[in-house]
Amino acid sequence: MKRIPITELPNYIGKKVKICGWIEDKRIVGKVMFLTIRQGLETIQVTLKKTGNEDLWRDVEEITRQSSVVIVGNVRKFGNKLEIIPESVKVVGLSKTPLPLDPSGRVPALLNTILDSRALSIRIPHIYAIFSIRSKVTNLIRDFFANTKGFIEIHTPKIIASGTEGGADLFPVEYFNRTAYLAQSPQLYKEQLMLGFDGVFEIAPYFRAEKSHTRKHLNEFISVDLEISFANYKDAMNVLEELVNYVLENIIETAQKEIQILGHRPPSPPGKIPILTYDDSLEILHKSGYEFEWGEDLDSDALRVISKEIGDFFFIIDWPWRSKPFYIKRKGDKLTESFDLMYREIELSSGGTREHNVDQLKKNLSDKGLDPSIFEFHTKFYNYGMPPHAGFGLGLDRFLLVITGRENIREVVLYPRDPERLEP
């Protein structure tokens, strides 16, 4: 017999079906037993009468809550809901009690308890909802890049011979008889590919050996990377703005149930996202009595002040050269053709026009204290007809933090990695 998902049961009223799920709840009222069977975000009531079903009743009474079961029975209308009158209830995976957390979600668990028992935690409806939204957002992003824009999805290596921006924050790995590193970003590869592709994107994990203990940093995170050729930073910002709007417009439609269970509406699509320069931001800060030295990175407090003034989503462009990496195109002496996309105090994305002139690129390397001869493996491609290009990296986990309205990035990542957590 074919297994029927709970969502399809309305098509089977008066018919016999097979359903699968977990016993979330079991109540006995006199001679009637009510089981709540959960399957993801859906539940169905199974109603068993003792009279005439003594054997089945005895078996079902023994089954612990949270065991997985396969039930065959008839679908019936029960008020404005449905119920199943079981013919057989087969336990396929017995659950022991007590469990490390309450899968019904009635007894809230601490984040650490949830993470320690991550696989079990996905039975908690709002946690299931978070990861279902995550999956849907990833699909929307892929759909936007591939189908709407016609960009090429690439897969660059995550084990690499040297870092993107010199030695800092790299995780070394033993690679036969030499040291390799885990990739911090696909930056150099995606730029090199501008030799032939119009637009490329990659959704992949990256690794940064920073000892951060914040609600928005992990040592392994997923980045959504884009690079487009014959383009500058304004073009890349337009694509990013379109992407953010596309995801926020569509997720509300495609994840209605998840959003309802989560009890948080994602931010409305921002439409045109306000743009201010780094200098504009400093002016706002000065006006608010916030002293900030020119050239410094903007910290969370500063971004909060700016966001109060400007709104939730905003771009900050034209960052000081000293705060940006060597591959960014310079704008005059002190500035760069760069942008960050913020949501309140959270940096969602960084991007910019890339330096595509090979001599200037080498000069940039020297200016950053890096040895151009070590980057020959990369800069040589800039001699083969490299067009101007631009792109960005968008933190998927941070975007999900914003979409789901959770507090901590660890809540939207199945198996987060931070300085203290390497398991499960």
Residues that bind ligand ATP (CB under 6 A): 208, 217-218, 221, 223, 347-350, 393, 395, 397-398
Does residue 364 bind Mg ion (CB under 5 A)? no
* CB 339, min distance to Mg ion, A: 10
* CB 221, min distance to Mg ion, A: 12
> For residue 419, is the peptide bond before it cis, meaning its omega torsion is within 30 degrees of 0?
no
Q: Are 292 and 279 in contact (CB under 8 A)?
A: no
Q: Select the binding partner of residue 229 from ligand ATP, Mg ion, none (C-beta < 5 to 8 A, by kind).
A: none
* CB 362, min distance to ligand ATP, A: 22
Does residue 164 bind Mg ion (CB under 5 A)? no
Q: What share of the chain is helix, strand, coil (3-state, %, to 5)?
A: 35, 30, 35
Record the tokens describing residue 160, joined without a space: 């690499």
Does residue 338 bind Mg ion (CB under 5 A)? no
Q: Select the binding partner of residue 182 from Mg ion, ligand ATP, none (C-beta < 5 to 8 A, by kind).
A: none
CA 62 to chain centre: 40
CA proximity to 68, closest of 94, 86, 43? 94
CA 54 to chain centre: 49
Does residue 184 bind Mg ion (CB under 5 A)? no
Residue carrying the six token digits 């590869």:
189
Residue nearest to Mg ion (CB): 350
Q: Tell me whether residue 266 or residue 393 sits nearer to Mg ion (CB atom).
A: 393
* CB 323, min distance to Mg ion, A: 9
Q: Are 188 and 195 in contact (CB under 8 A)?
A: no
CA dihedral (206, 345, 424, 112) in degrees, to 10, reads 170
Q: Tell me whether residue 121 or residue 223 sits nearer to ligand ATP (CB atom).
A: 223
Give the 3-state secondary structure of residue 377: helix
Does residue 336 bind Mg ion (CB under 5 A)? no
Q: Tell me whether residue 64 or residue 214 sits nearer to ligand ATP (CB atom).
A: 214
* CB 47, min distance to ligand ATP, A: 47
Does residue 350 bind Mg ion (CB under 5 A)? yes
Q: Select the binding partner of residue 40 from ligand ATP, Mg ion, none (C-beta < 5 to 8 A, by kind).
A: none
Q: Tell me whether residue 76 or residue 217 sits nearer to ligand ATP (CB atom).
A: 217
* CB 393, min distance to ligand ATP, A: 4
Q: Which of the ranges 76-84, 146-154, 307-315, 342-350 carries the binding residues for Mg ion, by CB under 5 A?
A: 342-350
Record the tokens describing residue 317, joined without a space: 């462009």
Record the tokens describing residue 383, joined without a space: 């001699």
Return the H-helix or E-strand segment holding 205. strand 199-207
Does residue 404 bind Mg ion (CB under 5 A)? no
Does residue 192 bind Mg ion (CB under 5 A)? no
Residue type, 139: N
Record the tokens describing residue 325, joined without a space: 């990496």
Residue nearest to ligand ATP (CB): 395
Q: Select the binding partner of residue 223 from Mg ion, ligand ATP, none (C-beta < 5 to 8 A, by kind).
A: ligand ATP
Q: Tell me whether residue 165 or residue 235 sits nearer to ligand ATP (CB atom).
A: 165
Q: Tell me whether residue 134 or residue 208 sits nearer to ligand ATP (CB atom).
A: 208
- Footprint of Mg ion on 209-248 (CB under 5 A): none
| Alpha-helix runs per DSSP H in 109-160 | 111-116, 118-121, 125-143
Q: Tell me whether residue 398 or residue 406 sits nearer to ligand ATP (CB atom).
A: 398
For residue 54, count CB atoms less than 10 angstroms from its CB and return exposed for 0-12, middle for 13-18, buried for 19 or more. Answer: exposed
CA proximity to 139, closest of 392, 131, 408? 131
Q: Tell me whether residue 121 or residue 350 sits nearer to Mg ion (CB atom).
A: 350
CA proximity to 134, closest of 395, 346, 408, 412? 412
| Beta strands 152-153 and 199-207, pairing class | parallel
Q: Tell me whether residue 17 or residue 394 sits nearer to ligand ATP (CB atom).
A: 394
What is the contact surface with Mg ion in residues (CB under 5 A)? Answer: 350
